[in-house]
Structure 1
Amino acid sequence: MRQAVHRVQVRTRGRGLVDVTGRLRNWLTEQGIADGLLTLWCRHTSASLIVGENASPEVLQDLEDFMSRLAPDGDRQRYRHADEGPDDMPAHLRAAVTLTQLSIPVQAGEMVLGTWQGVFLWEHRHAPHQRELVLHLLGE
């Protein structure tokens, strides 16, 4: 059994989804581990990870629209915590109802994703950020 750990920096443009699937595939290829489990960890409280459709950009926009209704931006009248502005607490809520960790099986050196699945970092703040993902691959 072997393992590999790596940190990936992801620059966001502000609120929205960033497809990181290709970066993950490239790193997996370099590791030479055929079968195992890839764990992704997002080191932030205002960003998250999802597996979603990577074929239609409309899906990503619909996800963002849904999340805007679920956790709308606000101010001190809507949320107690607004230290960094009106998108502060909504960003934490969005991260809380999505995921900061994913586990993806690896077979024959590839993530076992469905035909239309991709891995996305979801930035929940309006301003661009530098986010960090930790990748942990365990297998042989």
Structure 2
Amino acid sequence: MPAVAFASAPAIFASASARPCRSAAPGILSSDSGRPRRGARGAVQCEVASSSAPSAAGPQAARWAQRTVVIPPQRRGCHLITNKIVNEIGNDLADFKCGMAHLFLQHTSASLTINENYDSDVQVDTETFLSRIVPEGPSAPWRHTIEGPDDMPAHIKSSMFGCSLMIPITNGRLNMGTWQGIWLCEHRDYATPRQIVITLNGI
């Protein structure tokens, strides 16, 4: 049976309002940081033995790790949280040569997406777009307004972007594009802390 290791203690951030940065975080593998070996047609080759061919030390066993990250309440809008995620899972990431990171947001009025990590105007423009295409206020047709006029619009926006992400892991880093970042999109006017369950799987 593959060895399974879980790290389930929640980790709490001080803030999630950091501005986008041009350089990649230590746990992020982009086109200009720590280039992995490439094979035919530019395919990335993780530096591990094939799982179908036992190495001298035996076959590679799949590894698992899981951590719940709690992000404090944020203002309504889109927030870049890449560096904060990497800071929390960095030690776990280092154990993986090749695998996948799954991020799951445990809420129905916020969302996760991957988008621009440099120009913060993209975050502002995205919030403007969402506010324009999903009506809100007394004239909106929604019946579900138990928690206020932003209640149902928040649910719709959450479904538009979704609550989960899959990101490849290569040589101990999240293998994202140079300009890609992880966003938490807060769709409520009065937010609560948001929990993200991060599961790592690979070898």
Q: Which runs of 5+ in 1 are unaligned?
A: none
CA distance in structure 2 between the aligned counterparts of 1:37 and 1:13, rounded to whole angstroms: 27
CA RMSD of aligned residues (A): 1.4
Provide the rounded CA distance (Å) in 2 between the counterparts of 1:7 and 1:28: 10
Larger % of helix: which? 1
Residue number in structure 1 paired with 2:104:
41
Residue in 2 aligned with 1:125?
A: 188
Structure 1 segments of 4 or more deviating over 4 A? Answer: none
Instruction: Return 82-91 or 26-35, whichever deviates more.
Output: 26-35
The one-letter code matched in structure 1 to 2:172 is G
1:107 corresponds to: 170
* Larger Rg over CA atoms: 2
2:142 is aligned with 1:79: yes
Q: TM-score, normalised by structure 1?
A: 0.94
Q: Which residue matches 2:152?
A: 89
Which aligned pairs between 1:7-26 and structure 2 lie closer than 5 A? 7-26=68-87
Q: Do the aligned partners of residues 14 and 75 (structure 1) sit closer, same or farther apart at CA in structure 2, a change above 3 Å counting?
A: farther
Aligned to 2:42: none
Q: Which structure shows the bigger proportion of residues in strand conformation?
A: 1
- Give the drift of 1:71: 1.1
User: Structure with the greater relative contact order (CA < 8 A, sep ≥ 6): 1 or 2?
Assistant: 1
Change in 2 beyond 3 A, CA 1:139/1:80:
same
Query: Offset of 1:11 from its aligned partner?
Result: 1.3
**Overall identity of the aligned pairs, in %:** 38
Show the counterpart of 1:69.
Answer: 132
SS at structure 2 position matched to 1:62:
helix
Task: Render the CA deviation track for 1:120-140: whole Å, top value 9, x for unaligned.
Answer: 111100113200000000011
Distance 1:33 1:48, change over 3 A: same
Query: Once the 2 structures are TM-superposed, how far is the Cα of residue 101 of structure 1 from its aligned partner?
Result: 0.7
SS at match of 1:3: strand
Distance 2:160 2:89 in 1: 28
TM-score (norm 2): 0.66
